[in-house]
Structure 1
Amino acid sequence: MGGAEKYCANLCRCLAELGHRVFLVACECDRDIHPNLLHVPVKVSNWSSSARNLSFHRNSQEALRNLDVDCAYGLSRTFPVDAFRISDPLHASWFDIRYTDRWRNMIERLNPRHRTILGLEQSICNPEHTRAIITNSKWSRQQLLNCYEYPEESVHVVYNGVDLDKFRPLQQVRPVDEKLKILFVAHDFKRKGLGFILDALRQLKAQGVACHLTVVGRDKPSPFRREAEKFGVSENIDFFEPSSRLEDYYNDSDLFVFPTLSDPFANVCLEALACGLPVMTTTHNGAAEILVEDKTGYVLEGSRPLASQIAAKVMRFSRLALEDRLEMRRQARLCAMGYTVLNNARQTLEVLTALTRPRQGR
């Protein structure tokens, strides 16, 4: 289950527990979320990415027209809705980050997938179609306002929440090994910055800093294995498939490094903090907004070369005394305790309640 699916499940569960009647318009639904959750199934076409996005939009709108609800909250690309949550990088801004070459950028804009996503995004970010937008960070809010003419007063920041019972520190203190244990968790290795970490490991090895990198996620590891071999660090890297027990990886690491190019708020950072694991990420990740430099982690300047910054800050961390590392772990956990799933649901509910209008057919 990815970050968006976890958020949806947690929100539905909390809203149902708070006594609200919740309909989930979706292709599939985990029946274990909550017994009172009402699943409204919609079909999607898997013929292509464009067909999948368009069919979900059209079929979910048809389903909404047959529901008697006070408020429609969109988590996937569809319109009109009362409120929409931006959890993925805005395609309008990510496009220019992904395709920096001018000609490649122009060609890719003709791709049916990109044209469909951009078209849906433009319609969603039209105040005539969406009465309020929720972002999960200030950074994401600013990206929205930079890309689209949407009224500022209708954009609300509600930070993500984390399950503090599932993601918690081990009772025992993890022994300090000779090699610093670095963790990276993602499903898109390139966008999330794995290549920068490999380059940083090369620099750290040249400076005599021993590190071991654990990579967990769903992506093709072969290009990064080759890059690691080129850098001479392949023997210090392990790749693992996605796991439902990520907390075990967090608790077996010294530092979580996530040098993403673009993320509204990567929830893996919050999960790591909840397990008492200091986090290093970029200013292009909304999660950086809750970090305190040298206390709960490290923030990399996204507009500057990342590999050298990673290497310098990993070296700084490696020189910390054991008691200083333990204090960072304690501060990391304390930071996460301010961002619970229930807090997220209640703040989201405040926004949705303000939009509630008398029941009427859509």
Structure 2
Amino acid sequence: MAILEKYRIPLIRDTINAEDLKKLSQWLLENPRLTKGPLTKKFEEEWSRWNGNKYSVFVNSGSSANLLMVYALLAAGKLKNKKAIVPAISWVTTVAPFMQFSLDPLLCDCDEKNLGLNLEHFEKLCREERPAVAILVHVLAHPNHLDQILEICRKYDVILLEDCCEAHGSQYRGKKVGTFGLMGSFSFYFGHHMSTIEGGMVVTDEEELYNVLLSLRSHGWARDLQPEYAKRFKEKYGIDDFRDRYVFYYPGFNLRSADVNAFLGLEQLKRLDEIVQKRFANYLRYKKNLESHCWVQESEGNPLSAFAFGQVADNLLETVALLEKNSIETRPLICGSIGEQPFWIEKYGKQILPNATKIHHHGFYIPCYQDLKEEEIDEVSDLLIKSKKA
């Protein structure tokens, strides 16, 4: 897809290519259904197969996926209290649903190396606050310390959610992210590992929760439910056939995506494994170039579908200026620390967490998309080393 690029080496490039658009054009000429229909279901099934989950629910964004996950826990009566652990290094819509649904978010500091949940702080929060739920983010596709986090969750009876919006295809000890928590979320927005223009996915292995997600996605009705669940609702409330399609069992949303988006998802999914491997190779080249000179984000991700390459620099502004001068795009590392964002400060006050605060003031990331050339990686690496020595 053609876009105007300000930079010689941009942070991202679109994954929707000319062949995708050609196939989409041919499909559109067949006068297909464009709204949610059979291709949406097919895309959900193919995604479940690819990622290793039993169930997937296609929605209109990764942010909507997070919103749906959190409200599904409430609607299904799964929360023992209103306390929720959220990661300091994350995105606003990872945290916002807990605030929007009047839960009590507890901010957890980040790990010094993978930038996920800090194990010591996470266990301290679980021990002292006894929360009902925790959500983690696999920052720039680096898996958290999942074995230890799951053990802590079991110890303190905490539900775990995974925000995998930057991590499609990353694996931790042989399992893909999104298969560890009760639910996981993915984003298919422009610049991610694959794109449906706008789109997201919720994954889970729990059948009852899957049906709650399906209902909440579409207004709270039962049309999309598995037959036995739809029948159960109908019999419980004595609904006749005439009214059945317009009865609402939950105060739901309209978070649906559409078949036109699912068409692109199915095409992109065919090459997602290749994209993951290219991003992993890019990460490894950066790491080899930089690990003797700069801080390098590290994890047990193998493969690691690097969303970008994270960096920390004491001379942040000078480093960014050098990259900009050479027409290389960069940006803050996600959005820095949530505890220092205005929306958090207004409600809870500024929250200083040592590791997250360092990322907030010194963190940034550089390009790592699948079409990046080796010589471009080497050029960016050389500039970072030059800046470090300055």
TM-score, normalising length: structure 2: 0.24
